[in-house]
Amino acid sequence: MSERNAYLIINAGSSSLKFCVFQGSGTEDLEVVFTGQMSGIGTQQAKFEAKDAHKHVLASTALDQSDRAALLGYLLDWIRSQLGGAKLVAAGHRVVHGGTRFAAPVRVTPQVMAELEAIVPLAPLHQPHNLAAIGALADVYPELPQVACFDTAFHQSQPWQSQVFAIPRELTQEGVRRYGFHGLSYEYIAHRLPQVAPELADARVLVCHLGSGASLCAMAAGRSVDTTMGFTALDGVPMGTRPGTIDPGVLIYLMRQKGYGADEIEKLLYHKSGMLGVSGISNDMRDLEGSEAPEAAEAVELFCHGVAKQGAALAASMGGLDAVVFTAGVGENSTLVRARVTEKLGWLGVRLDPAANRAKATRISAADSRIPVYVIPTDEEQMIARHTLRVLQAEQAAPVLAAAD
Ligand code: AMP
């Protein structure tokens, strides 16, 4: 591959599309050159914003198209106009669900697209938007190689007992099982942790991805052995607007006694619960920490309780605990949440250094803590960029290997 290749990384949602452009010649020198987003897709009020690596605004403009393909065409033209001597060689996409079929990133072909379409029922709120972006990009730039990177793939290494529900086998075989999410974030941490703390390369690590969506991963020797999200991204710890684990009997009650249908339950579970539902104030941890209202404090307490309780359960999945890592928006930024969660895990041998915690140090545990605690910023886009480059490199190497055979 020639030097100064550029890779477009896309994370597409229902009405917005976040992008990031990396440049580099190999997986170890990939650097962000632009980030940005298209918002208001499909609304006639589309907006395009882009910043350089130092967060200086390069573009902020309203667009009169609303069609996804037209907007992606605009984005590609803009990127190409900014690349200087570099060449756009591929696009990498975050795709929420790889089902049981995809345990690793894959080059998108018509056959792969058909298989990903078949998985849509497993993630109906997210997968269609991810696939629509791939389809639209293929329409405007058919020669550009595209790579799909899955949020579920990292968890495919889990043992059977972590992957199934205790339900009749035929349902499990149909795909009603635990998949887990935030896999690209966990994979990035698995790559980064041995650089930060080489002695933890083979350790049993509780990774707490605490953002507006939140989950925990039991990671042993860099592989996922268990995680708190399951069939969907609803399960596990409480989140900004999702309740996390909830007795399924509550849903039967709401259906039978209050006449809730699937749409109302979906709205309740995805948008009205979690920190927002409990506090009645906000889904944002910053607002809750800044509020005097007792309901805000209760919401934070419920969140920390859920993280500590389920974190301890994941320690059982690993047969012990050697380290804790906090990452994502809340995990990287909330001194209070890290302090409360680690306090609740104190009985396992976790002791925080309050000054290091306040200073946002990389290692925030006390010198005599049996279990070290780290804060490691996640970088899912970097992970997608590396995967995209690797998939292309493997394709280029494959004919050579075949010839050598
Ligand atoms: P993410 O989904 O990883 O982008 O995380 C977003 C969330 O991180 C926001 O909704 C906030 O709740 C939280 N967050 C960001 N900055 C802070 C902060 N300084 N203190 C507490 N929470 C924060």
pLDDT in tens, 247-296: 999 999 999 999 999 999 999 999 999 999 999 999 999 999 999 999 99
- Looking at residue 404, what is its pLDDT? 43
- Candidate of 326, 333, 379 to mutate for ligand 1, largest count of ligand atoms within 8 Å of Cβ: 333
Q: Identify whether residues 60 and 139 lie together within a single domain.
A: yes
Cβ 325 under 6 angstroms from ligand 1? no
- Looking at residue 3, what is its pLDDT? 63
C-alpha dist (Å) from residue 178 to 104, 208, 329: 17, 18, 25
Cβ 211 under 6 angstroms from ligand 1? yes
Residue range of the domain that includes 59: 5-150
Q: Identify whether residues 146 and 203 lie together within a single domain.
A: no
Q: Identify whether residues 269 and 146 lie together within a single domain.
A: no
| 310 contacts: CB under 8 Å, gap ≥ 6 | 216, 228, 236, 237, 245
Q: Identify whether residues 142 and 80 lie together within a single domain.
A: yes
Q: Does residue 116 form part of some domain?
A: yes
- Rounded CA-CA distance 46/66 in Å is 6
- Cα-to-centroid distance, 162 and ligand 1 (Å): 29
Q: Residue 118 maps to which CATH number? A: 3.30.420.40
> What is the CB-side half-sphere exposure of residue 28 using CA atoms within 13 A?
1
- Rounded CA-CA distance 50/19 in Å is 9
Over residues 87-137, the pLDDT tens digits come to 999 999 999 999 999 999 999 999 999 999 999 999 998 999 999 999 999
- Cα-to-centroid distance, 276 and ligand 1 (Å): 14
What atom of ligand 1 comes closest to residue 285's alpha carbon? 12
- Cα-to-centroid distance, 212 and ligand 1 (Å): 7
On whether the CB atoms of residues 311 and 338 are closer than 8 A, the answer is no
Rg (CA), the chain: 22
Q: Identify whether residues 260 and 146 lie together within a single domain.
A: no
Over residues 4-42, the pLDDT tens digits come to 899 999 999 888 899 999 999 888 889 999 999 999 888
pTM recorded for the entire structure: 0.94
Which of 55-69, 128-142, 314-328 is the least confident region? 55-69
Look at the chain and report how many structural domains it folds into.
Answer: 2
Report, as an integer, the average pLDDT of 236-248: 97
Cβ 24 under 6 angstroms from ligand 1? no
Q: Identify whether residues 337 and 205 lie together within a single domain.
A: yes
Taking all residues of the chain, what is their mean pLDDT, rounded to a whole number?
A: 94
Q: Does residue 229 form part of some domain?
A: yes
- CB 172: neighbour CB atoms within 10 A? 16
User: Using CA positions, which residue lies closest to atom 15 of ligand 1?
Assistant: 329
- Residues recognised as catalytic: 151
- Candidate of 284, 341, 376 to mutate for ligand 1, largest count of ligand atoms within 8 Å of Cβ: 284
Q: Identify whether residues 206 and 287 lie together within a single domain.
A: yes
12 phi and psi angles, rounded to 5 deg: -100, 130
Q: Identify whether residues 142 and 36 lie together within a single domain.
A: yes
Q: Does residue 400 form part of some domain?
A: no
- Rounded CA-CA distance 103/35 in Å is 28
Cβ 212 under 6 angstroms from ligand 1? yes
Q: Does residue 156 form part of some domain?
A: no
Of 52, 328, 209, nearest to 60 by C-alpha is: 52
